């Protein structure tokens, strides 16, 4: 099976704008959790992610893509404040994955001895009334790349976690 490549791309001010995926899209909760671990490690770099931001998977290609590029996970904007997407903003078409990333300045580590921890969550929206459960994962990582927390679940109720609730609101029709 082809590997999944992840490359971050940034804006002119060197802040995180999203990720280029190559090879193939992640197919499972496990693979999206691995993507999230990479994304959170990148978000842990000081100054790279100025505020908590949402991202969504899109079958859009960058200009002049490499032959194996399959799509982008692009920044939808900050979660709150000016430029934040409103409820339902990402409902048409509904993305296969939504991600929230928190920079170290907005993350309280789950383990007190950790310093400079960024965190994030990924929601893989399902259709519960058809038996397709929502899936999600959560990751915390330090700037040196150390993952300090990794959790994934199937059958997630968006009301149980604030990050997942926000992501579900963005893609609710």
- Structural domains of the chain, count: 1
Q: What is the structure's pLDDT at 94? A: 79
Q: What is the structure's pLDDT at 9? A: 94
Domain that includes residue 15, residue range: 5-171
Q: What is the structure's pLDDT at 57? A: 94
**Contact predicate 24/119, CB 8 Å:** no
Q: What is the structure's pLDDT at 150? A: 94
**Contact predicate 137/151, CB 8 Å:** yes
Q: What is the structure's pLDDT at 130? A: 53
Q: What is the structure's pLDDT at 159? A: 86
Buried b / exposed e over 121-137, threshold 16 CB at 10 Å, is bbbbbeeeeeeebbbbb
Per-residue pLDDT of the chain (173 residues; tens, 9 = 90+): 789 999 999 999 999 999 999 999 999 999 999 999 999 999 999 899 999 999 999 888 888 888 899 999 999 999 988 888 888 788 778 788 999 999 999 998 888 888 889 999 999 987 555 556 789 999 999 989 899 999 999 888 888 899 999 998 888 75
């Amino acid at each position: 099976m082809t590997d999944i490549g992840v490359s971050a791309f940034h804006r002119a001010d060197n802040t995180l704008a999203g990720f280029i995926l190559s090879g193939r899209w992640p197919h499972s909760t496990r693979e999206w959790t691995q993507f999230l671990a990479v994304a959170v490690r990148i978000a842990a770099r000081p100054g790279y992610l100025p505020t908590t931001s949402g991202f969504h998977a899109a079958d859009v290609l960058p200009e002049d893509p490499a032959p194996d590029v399959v799509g982008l996970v692009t920044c939808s904007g900050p979660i709150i404040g000016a430029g934040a997407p409103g409820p339902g903003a990402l409902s048409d078409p509904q993305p296969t994955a939504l991600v929230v990333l928190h920079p170290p300045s907005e993350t309280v580590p789950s383990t007190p001895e950790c310093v400079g921890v960024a965190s994030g969550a990924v929601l893989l929206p399902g259709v519960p009334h058809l038996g397709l459960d929502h899936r999600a994962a959560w990751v915390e990582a330090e700037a040196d790349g150390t993952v300090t927390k990794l959790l994934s679940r199937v059958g997630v109720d968006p009301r149980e976690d604030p990050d997942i609730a926000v992501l579900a609101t963005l893609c609710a029709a």
